């Protein structure tokens, strides 16, 4: 059975740790707003919904070295929902994978950053993604390859609920279970929206936990903005040795900026000075 | 040998192209532990299953899910493994086109796709199982090497060569019942280097795959009628041996291409591009499917229908020989 939200919440981070992660997430979201304003437009909605998952991974669990992005033994990360690239890149810049000032040129021709990140250009990116339902299989391949070559690294994969529409995603769920890929953890950034509207109305995927569980995975369903739940789920997943792990994160598209939350139009948007200031104020207000 | 082959294939005359591919890959797998083999429920049909018997721990059958398999192969390469993927060409190149393009080529992953049952080689199965567009699709993907071996011996050479080559490769072979062009492995074969099989200055036939043998037969028949028809085995479609095409153009001024593929986008188009860019005048005929789907039928009948057998090539040679060229002393300066 999928762990319920109440069960997953039973742990709890020390207050200082919770405060640390919350503070980083807030800082990263503020920076995403800034980069979006500079770039002329960005995938704000999905970048905000995924932020807490990425912050927990990069700042608490993943073995990476910002000064040595190609470190052979690093944990691998695949943002299968590649349109979250502006959020991912901003987080990497915040950590020092590259000079943060480079983000000022996001989307510009001379920049290393297009809206979907290129692994050959952006330090810290392990897979070039963008077209949906590609990164999941690539990430499982990373993990499988690690097992075959006796590497210790773990692979973390973040997919979107929109990707659950694609048949290839379900192929990946089937094969992940068949090959018992237990050295990867898959997160569903379940923000309930695609470009055209609400997932449930366009092509419903619920009950998603039961579906994925029926495919042979260890499934946890949590609040994807609650660091206590995110961290506990990651640790539960690490302890699971028989089935591959999927953490369904119920998230809010546009999380943190009240007028963007749950608004399909904020899948992708631009910010002028006024809107950027309004969004920043909303973020800081919490 | 040129590409480091160290084995002999026993009873090669009795093995099909696919069986030789499976055998060669298995032997390469014994030498190179980085090779892993993937298929999508076609271990037996593609003969990659031979690898499984010897290297079960490095063989993965994905069932009938090709797109996920291509992405997975891309991921496996991250750890330095060399994934070799085999399924029918229609699925590898058409169903998986975006996954091959984005996951493997854009990501620059060292994956080898050995696609079987290409062209009309699986003729009786009908158009759904033919693949007469793969060369166009694979050739258009940046960074992809595209190879069409003429027979099983070339398949053996190509398999070893692509494993040694750093970068994504697409090798297109048939259903396995094609007659051999070569008698053994005692010949030089190199990616990107055409092999001249017949000399001639009247006309050149540039062919790939099973059409190479047919072109040789057509050349031999033409020779009996006093014509010297050059035959080029253009086993590598990309990177194309442009020098060989330009030499043929300069020496013979009549070029015929023959391929088991739509004439749009494949070998014929690749050759036409070289000719057009050369600035030289030339008679060109492209044999293959004339922008149509092939119906079902035996491969031999279909080759005849599409004029890519010796009869069709011979007929086309006769046709292009009706074109006269005036002596042109300034030929060298025409560009």
Query: CB-based contact (8 Å) between B102 and chain A?
Result: yes
Q: What is the pLDDT of residues A128-167, one digit of tens each?
A: 999 999 999 999 999 999 999 999 999 999 999 999 999 9
Locate the DSSP E strands across chain B: 35-39, 59-61, 82-88, 112-116, 145-147, 169-172, 195-198, 203-207, 229-233, 236-238, 254-262, 283-289
Q: Is the pLDDT of residue A11 over 70?
A: no
CA pair distance B69, B64, nearest whole angstrom:
9
Q: What is the pLDDT of residues A194-237, one digit of tens each?
A: 999 999 999 999 999 999 999 999 999 999 999 999 999 999 99
Neighbours of B219 (CB within 10 A): 26
Task: Give the residue from B87, B88, B148, B116 showing the smallest Cα distance to B16.
Answer: B116
The pLDDT of A46-58, averaged and rounded, is 98
Q: What is the pLDDT of residues A109-129, one digit of tens each?
A: 999 999 999 999 999 999 999
Which chain A residues have a beta carbon less than 8 Å from that of B68?
Answer: 137, 168, 171-172, 174-175
- CB pair distance less than 8 Å for B67 and A137: yes
- CB pair distance less than 8 Å for A171 and B36: no
Q: Is the pLDDT of residue B334 over 70?
A: no
Who contacts A16 (Cβ-Cβ below 8 Å, separation ≥6)?
none
The pLDDT of B262-287, averaged and rounded, is 96
How far, in Å, are A124, A136, B189 from residue A170 at the CA level? 27, 10, 42
Q: Check residue B94 and report its DSSP letter.
A: I
The pLDDT of B156-170, averaged and rounded, is 97
- CB pair distance less than 8 Å for A171 and B58: no
The C-alpha torsion from B242 through B245 and B247 to B248, rounded to 10°, is 180
Q: Is A248 helix (H, G, I), strand (E, B) or coil?
A: strand
Task: Give the residue from A144, A143, A112, A104 showing the smallest Cα distance to A128.
Answer: A112
CA pair distance B289, A31, nearest whole angstrom:
56
The pLDDT value given to residue B335: 45
User: Residues A25, A49: contact at Cβ < 8 Å?
Assistant: no
DSSP for B104-123 reads IIITT---EEEEES-BTTTG
Query: CB-based contact (8 Å) between B70 and chain A?
Result: yes
- CB pair distance less than 8 Å for B81 and A175: no
- Using a 10 angstrom Cβ sphere, with 0-12 exposed, 13-18 middle and 19 or more buried, the burial of residue A274 is exposed
Sign, Cα dihedral of A267, A273, A274, A279: positive
Strands of the A245-250 sheet, one edge to the other: A76-79, A155-160, A184-190, A245-250, A218-223
Task: Give the residue from A212, A233, A211 showing the smallest Cα distance to A222.
Answer: A233
Sign, Cα dihedral of A233, A237, A243, A245: positive
Query: CB-based contact (8 Å) between B101 and chain A?
Result: no
Neighbours of A281 (CB within 10 A): 11
User: Residues B272, B264: contact at Cβ < 8 Å?
Assistant: no
Q: What is the pLDDT of residues B290-332, one digit of tens each?
A: 999 999 999 999 999 999 999 999 999 999 999 877 666 666 6
Residues paired with residue B287 on neighbouring β-strands, in sequence order: B258
CA pair distance A242, A236, nearest whole angstrom:
12
Task: Give the residue from B15, B21, B14, B13 showing the smallest Cα distance to B39.
Answer: B21
Task: Give backbone dihedrals phi and psi of A200, rounded to 5 degrees, phi first.
Answer: -60, -30
Task: Give backbone dihedrals phi and psi of A103, rounded to 5 degrees, phi first.
Answer: -65, -20
The pLDDT of A237-247, averaged and rounded, is 97
Which chain A residues have a beta carbon less than 8 Å from that of B32?
Answer: none
ipTM for the whole complex: 0.93
Q: What is the pLDDT of residues B32-79, one digit of tens each?
A: 999 999 999 999 888 889 999 999 999 999 999 999 999 999 999 999
Which chain A residues have a beta carbon less than 8 Å from that of B108?
Answer: 120
Neighbours of B291 (CB within 10 A): 10
Q: A169 or A8, which is more confident? A: A169
The pLDDT of B217-231, averaged and rounded, is 98
Query: CB-based contact (8 Å) between B79 and chain A?
Result: yes
Distance from CA of A31 to the nearest CA of B (A): 28
The pTM score is 0.94
What count of CB pairs under 8 Å joins A to B?
96
The pLDDT of B230-238, averaged and rounded, is 98
Q: What is the pLDDT of residues B84-123, one digit of tens each?
A: 999 999 999 999 999 999 999 999 999 999 999 999 999 9
Question: Who among B75, B80, B103 is closest to A144 (CB)?
Answer: B75
Distance from CA of A127 to the nearest CA of B (A): 7
């Amino acid at each position: 059975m999928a762990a319920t939200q109440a069960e997953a919440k039973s742990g709890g981070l020390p207050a200082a740790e919770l405060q640390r992660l919350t503070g980083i997430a807030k800082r990263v979201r503020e920076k995403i707003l800034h980069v979006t304003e500079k770039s002329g437009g960005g995938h704000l909605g999905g970048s905000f919904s995924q932020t807490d998952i990425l912050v927990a991974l990069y700042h608490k669990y993943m073995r990476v070295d910002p000064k040595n992005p190609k470190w052979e033994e690093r944990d691998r990360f695949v943002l299968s929902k590649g349109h979250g690239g502006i959020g991912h890149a901003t987080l990497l810049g915040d950590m020092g994978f590259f000079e943060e000032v480079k983000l000022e040129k996001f989307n510009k021709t001379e920049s290393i950053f297009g809206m979907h990140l290129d692994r050959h250009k952006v330090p810290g990116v392990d897979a070039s993604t963008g077209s949906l339902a590609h990164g999941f299989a690539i990430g499982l391949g990373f993990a499988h390859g690690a097992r075959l070559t006796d590497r210790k690294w773990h692979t973390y994969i973040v997919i979107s609920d929109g990707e659950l529409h694609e048949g290839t995603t379900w192929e990946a769920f089937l094969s992940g279970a068949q090959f018992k890929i237990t050295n990867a953890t898959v997160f569903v950034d379940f923000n309930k929206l695609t470009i055209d509207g609400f997932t449930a109305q366009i092509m419903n995927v619920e009950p998603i936990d039961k579906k994925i569980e029926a495919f042979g995975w260890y499934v946890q369903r949590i609040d994807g903005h609650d660091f206590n739940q995110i961290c506990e789920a990651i640790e539960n997943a690490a302890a699971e040795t028989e089935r591959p792990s999927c953490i369904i994160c119920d998230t809010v598209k546009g999380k943190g900026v009240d007028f963007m939350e749950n608004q399909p139009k904020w899948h992708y948007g631009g910010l002028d000075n006024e809107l950027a200031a309004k969004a920043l104020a909303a973020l800081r207000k919490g | 040998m040129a590409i480091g082959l160290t084995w002999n294939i026993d009873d090669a005359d009795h093995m099909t192209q696919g069986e030789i591919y499976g055998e060669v890959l298995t032997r390469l797998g014994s030498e190179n532990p980085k090779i892993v083999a993937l298929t999508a429920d076609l271990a037996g049909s593609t003969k990659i299953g031979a690898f499984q018997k010897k290297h079960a721990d490095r063989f993965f059958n994905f069932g009938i899910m090709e797109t996920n398999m291509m992405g997975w192969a891309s991921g496996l390469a991250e750890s330095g493994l060399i994934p070799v993927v085999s399924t029918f060409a229609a699925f590898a190149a058409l169903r998986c086109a975006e996954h091959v393009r984005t996951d493997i080529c854009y990501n620059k992953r060292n994956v080898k796709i050995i696609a079987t049952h290409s062209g009309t080689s699986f003729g009786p199965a009908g158009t759904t199982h033919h693949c007469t567009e793969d060369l166009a699709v694979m050739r258009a993907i940046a960074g992809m090497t595209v190879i069409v071996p003429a027979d099983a011996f070339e398949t053996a050479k190509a398999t070893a060569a692509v494993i040694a080559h750093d970068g994504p490769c697409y090798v297109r072979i048939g259903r396995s019942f094609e007659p051999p062009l070569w008698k053994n492995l005692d010949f030089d074969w190199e990616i990107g280097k055409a092999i001249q099989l017949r000399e001639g200055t009247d006309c050149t036939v540039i062919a790939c795959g099973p059409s190479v043998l047919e072109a040789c037969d057509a050349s031999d028949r033409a020779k009996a009628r006093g014509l010297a028809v050059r035959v080029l085995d253009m086993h590598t479609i990309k990177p194309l041996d442009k020098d060989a095409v330009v030499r043929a153009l300069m020496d013979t001024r009549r070029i015929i291409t023959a391929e088991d593929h739509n004439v749009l986008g494949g070998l014929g188009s690749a050759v036409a591009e070289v000719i057009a860019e050369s600035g030289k005048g030339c008679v060109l005929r492209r044999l293959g499917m004339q922008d149509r789907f092939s119906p079902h039928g035996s491969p031999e009948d279909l080759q005849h229908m599409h004029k890519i057998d010796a009869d069709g090539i011979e007929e086309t040679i006769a046709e292009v020989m009706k074109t006269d060229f005036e002596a042109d002393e300034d030929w060298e300066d025409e560009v």
